[in-house]
Amino acid sequence: MGSSPKWPTKRWDPQFFKKLAEKIFDHYDARILLLGSPGEEGLADVFRDFDPDRVVNLIGKTTLEDLPAFFQKLHFVVSGDTALLHVAAAMHVPTAAIFGPTDPKRHVPPSRKIAIFTKNLPCQPCYQGRCKEKEMMGCLNHVTVDEVFDAARRFLDL
């Protein structure tokens, strides 16, 4: 869920993650791990009503060194342009990569199991940690839960 605290513009809205989790639970017997940096623990608040056995909150509780062990067991990852995206690609985990302020042509890690989401708005890429556009965070807010869920289904239904 998280990004770097310096790059909130790389962070898909927590409500979108929540809606995606609901869709996944409607279609799959799944567990979801929430990952993010220390200081981003509040992002998991939208999941407080979920069964803690199904949604495991690890935000701020893991290090980069821990991630490969977790990722060995994952079937799908949703990430912005963050370290998590690059670890998932290195571990060959199918991934939905959501790009907002950065250019996927420049930053997407090599992987055959990656679905890239970017909206190519006039303001993209801006490489800014804070959005200055009239339509705040449009680059990420236009990436829909349904689009990301469709990618999840493509990977999970193989």
CA distance 153 to 75: 11
pLDDT tens for residues 95-140? 999 999 999 999 999 999 999 999 999 999 999 999 999 999 999 9
Q: Which residues contact 54 (CB under 8 A, 6 or more apart)?
A: 25, 30, 31, 32
For the entire predicted model, the pTM comes to 0.94
pLDDT tens for residues 45-83? 999 999 999 999 999 999 989 999 989 999 999 999 999
pLDDT tens for residues 13-30? 999 999 999 999 999 999
Q: pLDDT > 90: what percent of the chain?
A: 89
Residue range 142-156: mean pLDDT, rounded: 97
For position 110, what pLDDT does the model report? 94
> Strands 95-98, 32-34: parallel, antiparallel or unpaired by DSSP?
unpaired
pLDDT band at 5 (very low <50, low <70, confident <90, very high): confident
Reading the block at residue 122, the tokens are: 């006039």
**Residues 39, 60 contacting (CB under 8 angstroms):** yes
For position 29, what pLDDT does the model report? 95
**Residues 9, 129 contacting (CB under 8 angstroms):** yes
Domains of the chain by start residue, with CATH? 8-153 (3.40.50.2000)
